[in-house]
Structure 1
Amino acid sequence: MEEENEQGVYGSFLLACYDEHNEEYQTICNIGTGFSEQQLEERSTSLRSKVIKNPKAYYRFADTTDPDVWFEPSEVWEVKAADLSISPVHRAANGIVDPNKGISLRFPRLLRVRDDKNPEHATTAEQVADMYRAQKINHSHNQEDEDDD
């Protein structure tokens, strides 16, 4: 869901998780770095036919989110990130971990496109919340270990 540059490729992408309870896609991050030229061309070519005029009613995003182009949900991307954080902008797992905020991925990087999954089988909002909670537990265990040294 983003911006096309002079070379005819999109420069960044707004990604979402799927909330199966509310049947909606909730933004989780903007990814725009770490792509090879070939990856950008492949993703842009693949998504160009999925452009839609306006966001769907079941897209959850902040009012400040204003991509140049919106896409039909069509691809599942496997993404690696530094960590997950509470976000006033992104809507992933909104209300599950924080009553008014969502969760976002920090420093996301595309690993691969998951051709074996359709968008409704993307990571769910509940799974995002679980990953966030697990990360908090792991961080506290790591700090305890460091304090023992």
Structure 2
Amino acid sequence: MKLILTQEVGGLGGPGEVVEVKDGYGRNYLVPRGFAIRWTKGGEKQVASIRKARDVREIRDLGYAKEVKGQLESLKVKLPARSGESGRLFGSITVTDIVDAVKKSGGPDIDKRRIEVGNPIKTLGSHQVSIRLHPELSATLSVEVVSA
């Protein structure tokens, strides 16, 4: 099955790429979740607009990615959250919370889909978050969750 990706899918490709996948994977997973649309000749025109939108968000070259990595790794990000006496949060910290905290701390704009949180952040303290800046480069951001 031939599909056009609308979002980045790990191990498959990025937005605007035309990929060939097994029928079941495309029909049951990618298309219903909005990660891809069926390839048609008319859909090929949408590829240009998807790629243009991706180019605006994406970090173009490795040099700029290294610069952003330096900014992120030197940044001190504090996230206030409500917690109980034992230090467990009421809920968890989301990637949207992290993006907002980076902006408030004076950091660069980052796409929330590029943030990878290993285990959900549900306790107070310091946590490490990985951010994919470029296919060859990732940054590690230290997030300090404090009681609000």
Fold conserved (TM > 0.5)? no
Relative contact order, CA 8 A, sep 6+: which one is greater? 1
The answer to which structure has the higher strand fraction is 2
Structure 2 length normalisation: TM-score? Answer: 0.22
- Who wins on radius of gyration, i.e. which is larger? 2
Structure 1 length normalisation: TM-score? Answer: 0.22
